[in-house]
């Protein structure tokens, strides 16, 4: 099944899910009241689960729990991280429970929504916390129900949106069911991941690291004429790796150029500042740029840099757009190469910075490879 994001509509999270705020649970309580009911806090490891506790004890203490399938969202720490708990859970004060109406609370619906909500995680970097008001007012794009003639179905009661659009729950369920997968395994252990000593990193201008390419306007006529399945067309979306749609090879006749890979796509407006790793040749439309490293061509390095760049997305909120000139003058902090004696290596050609610092490309690659599931990339 294909995902045609161009037909999706925006919904406030509060129109889709209800939220339950957690209360403080200590590790000592978990140890002293062992049971089989999972406790979820703000970490990403082990799907957010930090232990198992006796449910009767939780009820007696008035803790926040559900025995139904649910999503949880981390309030702090790994703020914005969303987990699916098929058997329900109790949440501490650094997490919240998200629930669908009982009639919609299927595994497939929750898994679909989990992936959509995770696309908003970048909004809670730099120590920002998830508050109920902010999170529930966030917008997410979802597929919508249509009438037999192809027009959007409008609910006069406007249960899910002020425009009357209704999420296509059946499509979400069928899409998840259509995915054929094998459980992922990894030999990497989180305790073996090297520590990031960001205080020792140095600043580099993006323009010293990357060449930037601007996209071309994709008219509705061109989109209709050259729709296909040869190459992705990236146009600044926040889901599906930024893909707007698939286009044919013939689109190059209209002046569209296939971008070099691996590289990063960069959203110019809408989700301005958001980057995605692209490993297959792709087109860029006018709401996106491509970023190509001047000297390094390693997908692991690109993944590391994408994470660093995405931590700066907050600078482009409130409808700000990105100009290529301004973006290339933006500075990001990166690990630097050192000499054998531990001193910082200085490049006398000053290729990457005025001070002569050189990004530690090998550390970036090794770090990504060391992460859980990094051995599967």
Domain boundaries, the chain: 5-177, 196-376
Q: In this structure, are residues 8 and 143 in contact, taking their beta carbons and an 8 Å threshold?
A: yes
pLDDT at 318 over 80: no
What's the chain's average pLDDT?
A: 92
Lowest-pLDDT range of 94-108, 149-163, 214-228, 274-288: 214-228
pLDDT classification of 376: cutoffs 50, 70, 90: confident
> Which residues contact residue 95 at a Cβ distance below 8 angstroms, ignoring those fewer than 6 apart?
22, 40, 41, 42, 48, 72, 73, 74, 75
pLDDT at 122 over 80: no
Q: Which CATH class is domain 196-376?
A: alpha beta
pTM of the model: 0.57
Same fold, 5-177 and 196-376: yes
Fold topology of 5-177: Adenine-n6-DNA-methyltransferase TaqI; Chain A, domain 2 (3.90.220)
Mean pLDDT of the 326-355 span: 96
pLDDT at 149 over 90: yes
pLDDT at 34 over 80: yes
Checking DSSP bridges between strand 34-40 and strand 89-91, what pairing results, if any? Answer: parallel
pLDDT classification of 126: cutoffs 50, 70, 90: low
Q: Express as a percent the part of the chain with pLDDT over 90.
A: 73
Checking DSSP bridges between strand 139-142 and strand 275-278, what pairing results, if any? Answer: unpaired
Taking only the tens place, the pLDDT of each residue in 184-220 is 788 998 888 988 999 999 999 999 999 999 999 988 8
103: β partners:
none
Q: In this structure, are residues 96 and 161 in contact, taking their beta carbons and an 8 Å threshold?
A: no
Taking only the tens place, the pLDDT of each residue in 44-98 is 888 899 999 999 999 999 999 999 999 999 998 788 899 999 999 999 999 999 9
What is the widest separation between alpha-carbon atoms in the chain? 72
Lowest-pLDDT range of 129-133, 173-177, 359-363: 129-133
pLDDT at 225 over 80: yes
pLDDT classification of 352: cutoffs 50, 70, 90: very high
Mean pLDDT of the 134-156 span: 95
b/e burial code for range 254-287 (CB count within 10 A of at least 16 → b): bebeebebbbbbbbbeebbbbbbbbeeebbbbeb
pLDDT at 271 over 90: no
Q: Express as a percent the part of the chain with pLDDT over 70.
A: 98
> Which residues contact residue 49 at a Cβ distance below 8 angstroms, ignoring those fewer than 6 apart?
38, 39, 40, 89
pLDDT of residue 182: 67
pLDDT at 258 over 90: yes
Rounded distance between C-alpha atoms, residue 71 and residue 86, angstroms: 8
């Amino acid at each position: 099944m294909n995902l045609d994001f161009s037909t999706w509509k925006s919904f406030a999270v509060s129109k889709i899910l209800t939220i339950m705020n957690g209360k403080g649970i200590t590790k000592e309580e978990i140890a002293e009241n062992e049971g089989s009911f999972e406790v979820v806090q703000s970490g990403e490891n082990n799907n957010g689960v930090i232990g198992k506790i006796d449910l009767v004890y939780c009820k007696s203490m008035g803790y926040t729990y559900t025995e139904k399938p649910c999503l949880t969202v981390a309030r702090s720490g790994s703020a914005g991280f969303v987990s699916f708990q098929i058997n329900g859970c109790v949440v501490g004060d650094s997490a919240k429970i998200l629930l669908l109406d009982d009639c919609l609370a299927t595994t497939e619906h929750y898994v679909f929504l989990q992936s959509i909500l995770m696309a908003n995680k970048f909004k809670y970097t730099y120590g920002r916390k998830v508050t109920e008001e902010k999170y529930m007012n966030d917008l997410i794009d979802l597929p919508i129900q249509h009438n037999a003639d192809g027009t959007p179905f409008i609910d006069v009661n406007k249960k899910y949106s002020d425009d009357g659009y209704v999420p296509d729950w059946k499509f979400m369920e069928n899409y998840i069911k259509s995915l054929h997968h094998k459980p992922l395994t990894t030999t990497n252990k989180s305790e073996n991941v090297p520590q990031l000593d960001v205080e020792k990193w140095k600043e580099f201008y993006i323009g010293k690291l990357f060449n930037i390419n601007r996209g071309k306007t994709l008219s509705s006529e061109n989109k209709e004429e050259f729709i296909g399945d040869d190459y992705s067309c990236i146009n600044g979306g926040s889901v599906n790796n930024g893909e707007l749609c698939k286009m044919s090879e013939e689109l190059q006749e209209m002046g569209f150029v296939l971008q070099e890979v691996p590289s990063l796509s960069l959203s110019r407006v809408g989700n301005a500042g958001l980057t995605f790793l692209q490993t297959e040749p792709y087109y860029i439309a006018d709401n996106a740029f491509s970023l190509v490293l001047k000297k390094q061509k390693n997908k692991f390095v690109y993944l590391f840099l994408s994470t660093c760049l995405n931590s700066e997305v907050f600078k482009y909120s409130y409808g700000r757009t990105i100009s290529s000139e301004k973006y290339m003058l933006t500075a990001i902090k990166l690990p630097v190469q050192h000499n054998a004696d531990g001193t910082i290596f200085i490049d006398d050609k000053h290729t990457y910075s005025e001070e002569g610092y050189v990004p530690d490309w090998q550390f970036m690659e090794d770090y990504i490879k060391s992460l859980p599931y990094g051995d599967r990339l």
